[in-house]
A and B are shown apart, each in its own frame.
Chain A
Amino acid sequence: MMNVSLIINGETVTAPVEPRTTLADFLREQHRLTGIHLGCEHGVCGACTILVDDEPVRSCILFAISCDGADIRTIEGSNSDPVIAALQDAFTEHHGLQCGYCTPAMLFTARDIVNRLPNADEDRVRLELAGNICRCTGYAGIVRAIISVLEVQRATIEKRGN
C-alpha cells in the first residue's frame, strides 16, 4: 500500500491505495462516488470519464497512485458547474438519456465540447461524442441537447458583443 493525495470534489484527501487500483475503483469503492460507471475497463466505451485537472479523462485506465496531486471532479461534485447544469437541463428537455448509465460521462464530454469548441456544428459534436457509447438513445437527443447549449452560449456571446 502507498499513500496518494488528491483533491476530490474540492476536498483534499490522503489515503492508502494499492498501486494496481484504478482511479475509477478508488473513487467508487473508497469514496462511494458511484456516479462513475465501468463499461469496458479498457478506455473505449467512455462511461468512466471524469474530470482530472479540469480535463475529461478515462478513470478506468489510470492508476490512482499515478494521480497524486490531481484535482478530481466527479458528477457528484459538479452541482455548481454552470455548464453541467445547463447540459443537465438540456438533456432533460431533449431526452438525452434513458437508463442513465452513460450520462455522467456523457455530460463531462459534452462540457468539454461546449467549453473547448464553442463553434462546433452537429458533425463536430457527433465526432467528439465518438468516445462515449450510449446503448439506449441512438444519440439524437444527446446531440440536440448539446447543440441547444452551444446555441444559447453563442447567442449570449453575440448579445454581449452588440
Chain B
Amino acid sequence: MKAAKFDYKKTSDLAEAVTALTSIEGDSKVLAGSQSLGPMMNLRLARPDRLIDIRDLEPLKAVTQATDHLFVGALVTHANIEDGTLPDVTRGMMVHVAAGIAYRAVRNRGTIGGSLVHADPAGDWPAALRALGAHIVIDGPAGSREIRISAFQQSAFTVTLEEDEIVRGVRLPILSDAARWGYYKICRKPGEFAESIGAYVYDPPSRVARLVLGGTEAAPLLLESAAATIAQTDGTRFDTEAASKALIETGEAFDPFKLRMHAVALQRAVAQAYST
C-alpha cells in the first residue's frame, strides 16, 4: 500500500512542464490533485518513473467567460465548482455534479482536468461534460489545440492525449434560460464511484439534445436518437422500458442487472430534467 519509488519535479512554467514530460528518460505522469493518481500509485496500479507536479501552473487555474462559452482551467477543483464560485452557465448542473463527487476532503484537491484525463468510466465529469458537449483545450510542444470531448474520450482510462501534452482546461457552452438538464448517479453510498450515470442536456435555441450513459466499462455512451425523441416529446414517454430499448438499440452488450440499472439512471435523469 505504499507507492514505488519515483522522481519528482514541480514547475510553474507550462512550457517547462510540457518539455519535462518526454525530455527526461523514463515514464512521466502529470500530478495535479493527486486524488486519482495517489490511490493508484499506493496500490501500485501506476508506477511512473517521475511525477511532474503542475499545481503551480497559473493558466490552468483560470476561469474566463466569453460570449459563447466559459473556460474552466484544468486545475479548478471539484470543491471550487461545488461552492458555486464559477459563473453559472449550466443552470446549476456543474454544481450538482461536483457535489456528488467522492467526499469533501477529496473534492478539496481533486481537479476537473485530472478527472477528465484519468477517464475513469465510473467518474462524474467524463459523463457530465460529454452531455454538455464540452471542448478540451490542450497544450503541447507545438502549441495549443482544441478537441471535441467526443473525440477526446476513447475508452476506459484512455483519452486522446499525447505523452507530451497537458490539458489546459475545458470550454463549456453557455446554456440558454430554456435549457433543461438532468443528472442521476446510482451508487450504494454517497460519493462512491457510480454503478451507473444518466446525464441529459437539452437546449432548444441551439438545437442540442444529448443523453449520455456513464458507469459503463468504456467511455461515456451517447444515445443520440433517444435524446431527439425525448426532446420532441418533452420526456413524457421515456420510461424505463423506453430507456432499456434505447440501450439495446446501441448494440452494446449489457448483462440484465446492469441493463436495468442503466435504464433507471437514464429514466431518472430525464425525469429530473422535465420535473420543473
Q: Interface residues, chain A, CB within 8 Å of chain B?
A: 2, 18-20, 22, 25, 41-43, 46, 49, 55-58, 60-63, 65-66, 68, 109, 112, 116, 127-128, 130-132
**Closest chain A CB from B5 CB (angstroms):** 6
- Contact of A56 with B105 in the complex, beta carbons under 8 Å: yes
Classify chain B: how many residues form its interface, as a range: 20 to 34
The answer to whether B34 touches A63, judged by C-beta atoms less than 8 angstroms apart, is yes
Interchain CA distance A63-B2 in the complex, whole Å: 11
Contact between A63 and B109, CB atoms less than 8 A apart: no
A66 touches B10 (CB 8 A): yes
B191 touching A58, Cβ below 8 Å: no
How would you classify the secondary structure of chain B's contact residues: helix, strand, loop or mixed? loop
Check B109–A109 contact: CB distance below 8 A: no
Residues of B within 8 A of A66 (CB): 8, 10, 31, 34, 51, 53, 55
B106 x A19 contact (CB < 8 A):
no
Mark interface residues in B1-12 (1 if CB within 8 Å of A CB, else 0). 111111110100
Determine if B5 and A18 form an interchain contact, defined as CB atoms under 8 angstroms apart. yes
> Is B207 positioned at the interface, with any CB of A under 8 Å from its CB?
no
Q: Which B1-58 residues have C-beta < 8 A from chain A? A: 1-8, 10, 31, 34-35, 38-39, 41-43, 51, 53, 55
Closest A residue to B38 using CB positions: A61
- A60→B4 CA distance, assembly (Å): 14
Q: Residue B274 at the A interface, CB < 8 A? A: no
Query: Which residues on the A side are within 8 Å of B41 (C-beta)?
Result: 20
Tell me the bound Cα distance from A26 to B4 in angstroms. Answer: 16
